[in-house]
Amino acid sequence: MSFDAEISSFIPLDLIVAAPKVLLHDHLDGGLRPQTVLDLAAESGYTNLPASDADSLGRWFSEAAYSGSLERYLETFKHTVGVTQSVGALSRVARECAQDLAADGVVYAEVRFAPELHVEKGLTEREIIEAVLAGFESGVATAAAGGQTIRVGVLLTAMRTAANSRSIAELSVEYRDHGVVGFDIAGAEAGFPPTRHLDAFEYLRRENAHFTIHAGEAFGLPSIWEAIQWCGADRLGHGVRIMDDITVSADGTVELGNLAAYVRDRRIPLELCPTSNVQTGAAESIATHPIGLLRKLGFRVTVNTDNRLMSGTSMSNEMELLSQAFGWGLKDMEWLTINAMKSAFIGFDERLEIINTQVKPGYAQIRAELDTRLNG
């Protein structure tokens, strides 16, 4: 038995936090600190919050999110979006996001948000984007001053239920040398296929720009197929419903359908979000989450938080839950982290540098520390 196998079910949480991690699927408006929501509500005159103290508000978000419905889950965002309608608010939440992720051991993150959701009080989309970029720059600098290294790339999201995707796609290209690394569409899947936004995706492909598409979360294989074959997605946001094209027989034999085989063969990354997937009903539990089988089958799986506030989670929490559910050890954590880094929307040389100078040395250090604790 290998060293990693022997300790696979025993990774102290402090070492999971210290281990370098990479996050590709995290929503800015889904990761606010509860106290920040309260502060911004007071500053802006927003009076619709369901609780008046941070602990109660945090519990409300988590409880509301455990509905088993993506549509109900998305309703919680009316509050976080409602309090982020100013330059100051947007800069603050971006700054705190970078700091929180860095404190959790995340060395590279792609954080997404929809500019069109923050125009209610007159901000232009460019003002919104620049406020978020400035906030991330400040947060990264603050983290660095405290000895924590993180790089943050922004994904601009268009809402699939609206008709603004081409404009947001153009802005993602306009700002791609200023911190924006890609494009996304999000929102309710059923009835709003990705092909409604084909013009945006064709534009992005002409501009050699990167994009991911929320697909295969609340809707099945047709959404995944359109995202890949019609729209040309580089990655799949969630993609957990690819399991609908995988048959597991009673004797344990596994057969991949044509679409699942294509996704695996082409190494199309799956931005899996275990806790969020359980909340929205895309998976029954962490223990039965498809990530376990998809990992065994060699899919390009990555672990993500989706919405840290609503899910009451972090990258370290997700890794701990998966370690407990599947007996995964540091080798698995490193494999998942390198998968994510390989799939990031920054340049190849930058990805390789982070893998070689932060991820691999970081895990070597964690292994040495764990060995010392176990063997004295």
Across 160-196, b (16+ Cβ under 10 Å) vs e yields bebebbbebbbbbbebbeebbbbbbbbbbbeebbbeb
CATH code of the domain in which 271 resides: 3.20.20.140
pLDDT digits (tens, 9 = 90+) for 42-81: 999 999 999 999 999 999 998 888 866 666 677 789 999 9
State the pLDDT confidence band at 134, using cuts at 50, 70 and 90.
very high
pLDDT digits (tens, 9 = 90+) for 289-327: 999 999 999 999 999 999 999 999 999 999 999 999 999
Domain count, the chain: 1
- The strand pairing partners of 247, in sequence order, are 255
pLDDT digits (tens, 9 = 90+) for 257-301: 999 999 999 999 999 999 999 988 888 999 999 999 999 999 999
Res. 122: pLDDT tops 60 = yes
First CA to last CA across the chain, in angstroms? 20
Average pLDDT over residues 152-163: 95
Predicted confidence at residue 5, as pLDDT, reads 43
Predicted confidence at residue 40, as pLDDT, reads 98
Report the length, in residues, of the chain: 376
Given the residues 217, 226, 320, 334, select the one marked as catalytic: 217
Annotated catalytic, 217?
Answer: yes
Res. 206: pLDDT tops 70 = yes
Residue 133: give the domain boundaries: 3-375
State the pLDDT confidence band at 3, using cuts at 50, 70 and 90.
very low
